[in-house]
Amino acid sequence: MVGPKNCSPLSWPSRKVAESFFATYKKELIHTRPWNDLAEVQQRTFLWIEGYCNRRRRHSTFNYLTPLEYELGYRKLTDLAA
């Protein structure tokens, strides 16, 4: 099954990843407190993505590596032994 109508097979996995990201973003950052203005939201969003999401948070899409580890080519020791 490809997914919703008018959605190519190549874009369906990307859509699922994007939907998961925004759900996590809203749950972990946006809906946690009231915000004073848009600039504050933008600043905190940047810090959340660059400081936490890309550096420390493990992602199932990347086999539970951080995006930084994934880009650097880290692998599990069991993968290297095989």
DSSP structure string for 12-76: HHHHHHHHHHHHHHHHHTGGGS--S-HHHHHHHHHHIIIIIITTT--BGGGTSB-HHHHHHT---
Q: What is the C-alpha to C-alpha distance for residues 22 and 3, in angstroms, rounded to an integer? A: 19
- Quick check: is 71 in a domain? yes
The token pair at 68 is 């930084």
- Quick check: is 5 in a domain? no
**Residue 67 is which amino acid?**
P
- pLDDT at residue 65 in the model: 84
Q: Which domain holds residue 65?
A: 11-81
- Quick check: is 18 in a domain? yes
- Quick check: is 3 in a domain? no
Whole-prediction pTM value? 0.62
Q: Is the pLDDT of residue 74 over 80?
A: no
List pLDDT tens digits, range 6-56.
555 557 667 888 888 899 999 999 999 999 999 999 999 999 988 887 778
Q: Is the pLDDT of residue 66 over 90?
A: no
Pairwise pLDDT comparison (25 vs 70), residue with the higher score: 25
Number of domains in the chain: 1
